[in-house]
Amino acid sequence: LWGIDTHSRNAHIGIGLLPAARGKGYGTDVVATLCYYGFAVRGLQRLQIETLADNEGMLRAAERNGFVREGVLRSSAWVLGEFVDEVVLGLLAGEWKGAGG
């Protein structure tokens, strides 16, 4: 977790997996663990993920953990010589499946 705001009780999730570790479900597991840490341990209200729009692995990992696509930041990231879109996803404590939902 990064950018933890203790006043508003929110934070961002960011992960990176080596290519050899992708496609094996590790991303989904890591996001689930970070949700547990953020909600159950830290008592946060909201977690947010920003990822490149073509990052299907992260989008799947987030959505499998209950994150909802909230919007697109058009041409917001400079990647390999061009601007690309980012997707913003959010999950609230009350929506988190670990909360009994």
Task: Kindly report the average pLDDT of the chain as a whole number.
Answer: 96
CB 2 within 8 A of CB 11: yes
Domain of residue 94 covers: 2-99
At 5-51, the pLDDT tens digits run: 999 999 999 999 999 999 999 999 999 999 999 999 999 999 999 99
Give the helix/strand (H/E) hosting 85.
Answer: strand 82-92
Mean pLDDT for 74-95 is: 98
Residue 47 structure tokens:
């977690």
Task: Measure the CA dihedral 78/82/76/65, to 10°.
Answer: -80
CATH number of the domain encompassing residue 64: 3.40.630.30
- With a cut of 80, say whether residue 101 has pLDDT above it: no
For residue 99, the model assigns a pLDDT of 63
Q: Please state, in angstroms and rounded to a whole number, the distance separating the CA atoms of residues 91 and 61.
A: 13
For residue 100, the model assigns a pLDDT of 58
CB 25 within 8 A of CB 55: no
Q: Which amino acid is at 12?
A: H
Q: Residue 1 CA to chain centroid, in angstroms?
A: 9
Overall domain count for the chain: 1
DSSP label of 37: I
Residue 98 pLDDT level (bands cut at 50, 70, 90): confident
